[in-house]
Amino acid sequence: MRHEKVDIIFQAAVQVFAERGFDQAKMDEIAQVAGVAKGTIYYHFKSKEDLFSALMNEGIENLIDYAKRNITLYSRPIEQLNALIHAHIQFFIENKKLAKLLLAEAFGTKERQRQFRRQIHEYILLIKRILDEGVRAGEFSMIHPHEMASSLFGAASIVVLHKIYSFEGRERKVDLKATVMVETIRELVFNGILKKE
Amino acid sequence: MRHEKVDIIFQAAVQVFAERGFDQAKMDEIAQVAGVAKGTIYYHFKSKEDLFSALMNEGIENLIDYAKRNITLYSRPIEQLNALIHAHIQFFIENKKLAKLLLAEAFGTKERQRQFRRQIHEYILLIKRILDEGVRAGEFSMIHPHEMASSLFGAASIVVLHKIYSFEGRERKVDLKATVMVETIRELVFNGILKKE
Amino acid sequence: MRHEKVDIIFQAAVQVFAERGFDQAKMDEIAQVAGVAKGTIYYHFKSKEDLFSALMNEGIENLIDYAKRNITLYSRPIEQLNALIHAHIQFFIENKKLAKLLLAEAFGTKERQRQFRRQIHEYILLIKRILDEGVRAGEFSMIHPHEMASSLFGAASIVVLHKIYSFEGRERKVDLKATVMVETIRELVFNGILKKE
Amino acid sequence: MRHEKVDIIFQAAVQVFAERGFDQAKMDEIAQVAGVAKGTIYYHFKSKEDLFSALMNEGIENLIDYAKRNITLYSRPIEQLNALIHAHIQFFIENKKLAKLLLAEAFGTKERQRQFRRQIHEYILLIKRILDEGVRAGEFSMIHPHEMASSLFGAASIVVLHKIYSFEGRERKVDLKATVMVETIRELVFNGILKKE
DNA sequence: CATGAATGAGAATTCATTCAT
DNA sequence: AATGAATGAATTCTCATTCAT
């Protein structure tokens, strides 16, 4: 069981980082939101970078775990990909703040950002493995599996992000539903958009 | 004709902002790269935000113009979408720095970021209009055109970004080719990945 | 008998203070080196200042005691001064860390530093008393005994310090020998440097 | 001609550093004493260390220059040493603050402190060269010229420092006279303290 | 006696912006 | 038009000290 204060700080940090981005997030605000003294954060985390990295690592790991857990329920690649699409979108909806951070902070040349990309790359490889397996099993067909994997990641991620932001600022907190987006990605992936007669 | 110095500053600013991101970019460095005094930047631009916004607006407008120019060469939606996919990927490859900024700075709650998203939204609507037209013309078929449009935007954007970063740090400057990525997105969009017997 | 923990803390404190100086020494490091919890130090010492003062007081007292012990073995002032020179240099060599602290922390306007200077002054008076006695006994001759005493203190202290630092950083721990330095100070004090024909 | 503000900052820095020592000196106070904004100091100096080093380098160089200027007025080693003793003491009296800093900050393992010691070492070599020359010319006689040189440096430095501090805190600003101290060091160096019949 | 998590008052440093020249 | 020295508000991080267990 992690120390109680660490959890409180984590919660506050996710919120503030997601609201402001890494650079605009102030340790003062995180401390205030967490209801602890600033020094307490530094007692548990070496630096702002350290806190942020811990946060993101845990977030991406959760995403990967969640995806894996859903994939392993099925054996056929087509079902696995189906499950992954749903898991991905569901996770982004349930972790809107992390989703924002993931895309907003994945670019740049800082070591921490390289580390995120390494983890995201790992996730994309997870997708690619399903695609490869599907090709081997004669279920899928594609010219460039690796590019296809990152395209899927992009499609499923941006469709949620775009929706999150288009609903932002609305008075009533809208309860984002996965259905429409899951349908769209599945249709795209399994069918394409060309009309079949 | 824009003032000569303004162009020099623009060039320097794109480079520095792309390398560092908005917050980590220093006006000092931009001035140094541009070879002008810091005061000169402030003579031409009200503030850092102002410079950055001018930059991004121009960038996104260029993207939209480029896409439109390519689309209007064709009349059938399927050809138009084909052209857009190529234009999008080609533009991102030729404007790597802008591409990074586009995704890295599109998220956040600052007014400037809202402005970017508005422009990106406009671009996505451009895609959606092609999709709608295709549906109307009986060429395309899809349940949620708007979500499909943002998915396409995401797929085509992230596949390039992911490739840019995976080649980063390599010894030899790799000359990114559009072909593989264009093929992938077209295959995804027009065919899906299911094997047809 | 002093409490065991107090001794452990003392040892650690000498080391850390000597390595870093008062301001740069961290209570955390002292605790770590001592292998006790930080709170334990505060259980035994009121404050960092308190710990440091206790340390230095004991150190200077040891120096004075050691000098006195050596002096009282002799009755003639010339022999006593001889003994003091050797004792001083020997003590500094054997207590390099204290020697550094003594000179580095003797200056400044803090109360603790005034206290050190008072003790050093006492030590210099010890020297002066030997000189006065020598003059009275017709063995020594000098115009300003007090200034001569502090000069001797300076000569004997700096010659050792300078040697300690010139050997610092060397690969092999050099075993500093007192002989050369004792010879030098005795020659200076009893003979001066002018060549006698 | 150095920039005016730099000089003002230098003056303020000497004062504050001498009063408080490196670690206790606050950039805030230096800025306030100098009557400039804190940022102005950082516009001219990279860091607190940088400012301090610039200060000390200049100080030690002044000492060395002053000594050299006085030495070169004479040709015989005995006269040169005579001149150096007077110059050293005179300089320390006229630059009390620098004198304090010199001894208080010469010890420690920081790079800056190593740099000071390197410069002080150079000064001691200046003394040694006079001693060597004197030996060669048949005027001086000593077993260990290098140790003798650092002993002289110590004697002449500490006698002044000790006097400075013994007068500190007095109501009336005492005007320290060099005579007594110069006499003492000369007597020590040229004669020793043994009574000649 | 001993502990170590928590604190919060500072301190160094940064950097967008201004403005006199 | 252009400059660059000067500014000071803002921010990260440090660390001696406290205190509940």
The residues close to strand F, meaning Cβ under 7 A, are: A 25-28, 38-39, 42-43, 46-49; B 3, 5, 36-40, 42-44; C 24-28, 38-39, 42, 47-49; D 3-5, 36-40, 42-44
Q: What percent of chain A has pLDDT over 70?
A: 96
Predicted confidence (pLDDT) per residue in D149-178, tens digit? 999 999 999 999 999 988 876 766 677 899
pLDDT per position as a tens digit, C161-178: 999 988 876 766 677 899
Instruction: Tell how far CA A124 is from the center of its chain.
Output: 11
**Which residue intervals of chain D bear CATH 1.10.357.10?**
56-193
pLDDT, tens digit (0-9, with 9 covering 90-100), for C15-56: 999 889 899 999 999 999 999 999 999 999 999 999 999 999
Between chains, do A104 and B100 touch, taking CB under 8 Å as contact? Answer: no
* β-bridge partners, A140: B194
Predicted pLDDT at A120: 94
- How remote is the C-alpha of C168 from its chain's centroid? 19
pLDDT of residue C184: 97
β-partners of residue D43 are: none
Contact D151 C147 (CB under 8 A): no
User: What average pLDDT does the segment B69-79 reach?
Assistant: 96
Backbone angles phi, psi at D140, to 5 degrees: -110, 165
pLDDT over 90 (residue B172): no
- Long-range own/partner contacts, residues C136-139 (CB < 8 A, 24 or more apart): C137/C76, C137/C77, C138/D195, C139/C76, C139/C77, C139/C78, C139/D194, C139/D195
Top-confidence residue, B126 or C174:
B126
CATH for C56-193 (1.10.357.10, 3.40.50.300, 3.40.50.1000, 3.30.70.1140): 1.10.357.10
Contact (Cβ atoms closer than 8 angstroms) between residue A103 and residue B107: yes
CB A13 within 8 A of CB A55: yes
- B1/B7 Cα distance (integer angstroms): 10
Q: Which residues of chain D have pLDDT under 70?
A: 1-2, 169, 171-173, 197
Q: What chain C residue is nearest to D24 in terms of C-alpha separation?
A: C23
Q: What is the pTM of this model?
A: 0.88
Average confidence (pLDDT) over A81-96: 96
The CATH code for residues A1-45 is 1.10.10.60
**Which has the closest alpha carbon to D69: D131, D126, D150?**
D126
Longest dimension (CA), chain B: 67
Q: Do C107 and D100 touch (CB under 8 A)?
A: yes
Helices and strands (DSSP H and E) totals, chain B = 9, 0
**Average pLDDT of the residues in A172-180:** 83
What H or E segment, with its residue span, contains residue D162? helix D145-167
Q: What's the Å distance between residue D38 CA and nucleotide E13 C1'? A: 10
CA dist list (Å): C95 to A130, C152, C155, C157, D183? 70, 19, 17, 12, 33
Flag whether pLDDT at C1 surpasses 60: no
- Residue–nucleotide distance: C25 CA to F15 C1' (Å): 10
- State the smallest CA–CA distance between residue A1 and chain B in angstroms: 33
Question: Using CB atoms, which residue from A19, A23, A154 is nearest to B159?
Answer: A154
What is residue C194's DSSP assignment? B
Q: Estimate in Å the CA C110 to C1' F6 gap, whole number.
A: 35
- The position carrying tokens 């010219």 is A143
Residues of chain D with CATH 1.10.10.60: 1-45
pLDDT, tens digit (0-9, with 9 covering 90-100), for C57-87: 999 999 999 999 999 999 999 999 999 999 9
Bases of chain E below 7 A from a protein C-beta are 1-20
Q: What is the dihedral of CA D185, D186, D189, D195, to 10 degrees?
A: -100
pLDDT of B73 higher than 70: yes
Which residue is nearest nucleotide E14, judged by alpha carbon to C1' distance? D39
Q: What phi, psi does A37 have (nearest 5°)?
A: -75, 155
Q: Could you identify the residue whose CA is nearest to the C1' atom of nucleotide E15?
A: B26
Cα distance between residue D92 and residue D99, in whole Å: 5
Asked if C184's CB is within 8 angstroms of D151's CB, the reply is: yes
pLDDT band at A1 (very low <50, low <70, confident <90, very high): very low
Chain C residues with beta carbon closer than 8 angstroms to that of D115: none
Q: Which of D24, D140, D195 sits opposite C193 (nearest CB)?
A: D140
